[in-house]
Amino acid sequence: MKEIIEQIKKLAIGKIDENASLNKYTTYKTGGICSCVVYPKNIDKLILLLKLLRTNKIKFKILGNGSNLLFSDKKYEGVLIRLTEFNNLEIIGTRIKVGAGFSLLKLSRIAAKNSLTGLEFASGIPGTVGGAVFMNAGAYKSDMGYIVRSVKVLTPDYRIIELENKELNFHYRTSFFKTHPNFICLEANIRLHQGSRSAIENLMKSRLKRRLESQPLNYPSAGSVFRNPEGMYAGEIIEKLGLKGLKKGGAMISDKHANFIINYQNATSSDIKELIEYAKKQVKDKYNIDLKVEQEFVNWE
């Protein structure tokens, strides 16, 4: 791995964080050490990096803000790629062209300032645009699939193509990218609508107030652990089982919202995973409901 890191440096790919603690890169604030995190300067450097890693059969993963990931506590023997340099932003009327590394929270605020409506649902999602497209992030009965018109994509054979909305297969918390992980989102073309800035900002403020009252935002977490089953709320199901406040090591099923697991006291990833699996099993045993985990488990094999 040292030789690969030296080659990455020689190719001047971009900033490198060696032996990086993953608790800096995930919203759970847990995880082991990663061999290195690389920040490619541009598309050409990204392609150079991917060719190097694939040729040498080095494990890698594109990483956004880590807001939907649970890395294991062991070392990630590979390279994590962050596209934070892909942060271009262009607003033309009601259309926004934005890089995959741009903050979704920041984008929702910019849209509001420009009196553009349609992104209010994203004002509480702490991910990147690319990560949000990948998982079709959403809230309040809306998601990226409603606003993304097309995406600029890097294919596995290093071509840059444009995929239209109908090709992106957006469904509840999934997209084309989840089933085609070797395709990389580089940029999104978003279409919003003209609205009232004050109405948009008031809606975002009221939703923030509701989140602060109902969600444990003062502790590290990854948001909702489970998808809501059809016509039901996962948090209510878990609460009915009396699991609120259940602890494992430094992790706890939030006593404020049962569909959140929080890192309240130096939790390990294993603590969190055990709570997820326990809650899932209890719901299955009691109600015969197979809750689907929203978070992605990485490096557990």
pLDDT tens by residue, 253-262:
999 999 999 9
* Mean pLDDT, rounded, for 237-252: 98
The strand pairing partners of 117, in sequence order, are 193
Task: Please say if 173 is a catalytic residue.
Answer: yes
% residues pLDDT > 70 (the chain):
100
Backbone angles phi, psi at 18, to 5 degrees: -85, 150
pLDDT band at 244 (very low <50, low <70, confident <90, very high): very high
- Can you give the pLDDT at residue 295? 93
- Can you give the pLDDT at residue 289? 97
Residues of the chain with CATH 3.90.78.10: 216-298
The chain-wide mean pLDDT, for the chain, equals 97
The strand pairing partners of 139, in sequence order, are 142
Residues of the chain with CATH 3.30.465.10: 89-199
- Can you give the pLDDT at residue 45? 98
d(CA 74, CA 140): 36
- Can you give the pLDDT at residue 204? 97
Instruction: State whether residue 76 is helix, strand or coil.
Output: strand
- Can you give the pLDDT at residue 155? 98
Domain 2-82 falls in which CATH fold?
3.30.43
What are the distances in angstroms from CA 94 to CA 104, 136, 190, 191? 17, 21, 8, 6
- Can you give the pLDDT at residue 218? 95
- Can you give the pLDDT at residue 18? 97
* Mean pLDDT, rounded, for 90-113: 98
* Mean pLDDT, rounded, for 6-15: 97
List 67, 175, 221, 294, catalytic entry: 294
| pLDDT tens per residue, range 65-87 | 999 999 999 999 999 999 999 99
CATH 3.90.78.10 correct for 216-298: yes
- Can you give the pLDDT at residue 80? 98
pLDDT band at 94 (very low <50, low <70, confident <90, very high): very high
Burial 153-192 (b: 16+ CB within 10 A, else e): bbeeeeeeeebebeebbbeebebbbeeeeebbbbbbbbbb
Q: The whole model's pTM is what?
A: 0.94
**Cα 56 vs. chain centroid, distance in angstroms?**
27
List 103, 224, 254, 269, catalytic entry: 224
* Mean pLDDT, rounded, for 282-287: 98
Question: 246 with 271: CB under 8 angstroms?
Answer: no
| pLDDT tens per residue, range 177-232 | 999 999 999 999 999 999 999 999 999 999 999 999 999 999 999 999 999 999 99
* Mean pLDDT, rounded, for 26-51: 98
Q: Who's near 68: CB < 8 A, 6+ residues apart?
A: 127, 131, 135, 137, 222, 223, 294, 295, 296
Please give the angle made by the CA atoms of 129, 15 and 182, to the nearest 5 degrees: 45
Burial 109-135 (b: 16+ CB within 10 A, else e): bbbbebbbbbbbbbbbbbbbbbbbbbb
d(CA 11, CA 43): 13
| pLDDT tens per residue, range 161-189 | 999 999 999 999 999 999 999 999 999 99
Q: Who's near 237: CB < 8 A, 6+ residues apart?
A: 229, 283, 287, 289, 291
| pLDDT tens per residue, range 42-69 | 999 999 999 999 999 999 999 999 999 9
**What is the DSSP secondary structure assignment for residue 222, as one 8-state letter?**
-
Residues of the chain with CATH 3.30.43.10: 2-82
pLDDT band at 245 (very low <50, low <70, confident <90, very high): very high
Task: Please say if 207 is a catalytic residue.
Answer: no
pLDDT band at 296 (very low <50, low <70, confident <90, very high): very high
List 18, 85, 115, 173, catalytic entry: 173
- Can you give the pLDDT at residue 268? 98
Task: Please say if 294 is a catalytic residue.
Answer: yes
Domain 89-199 falls in which CATH fold?
3.30.465
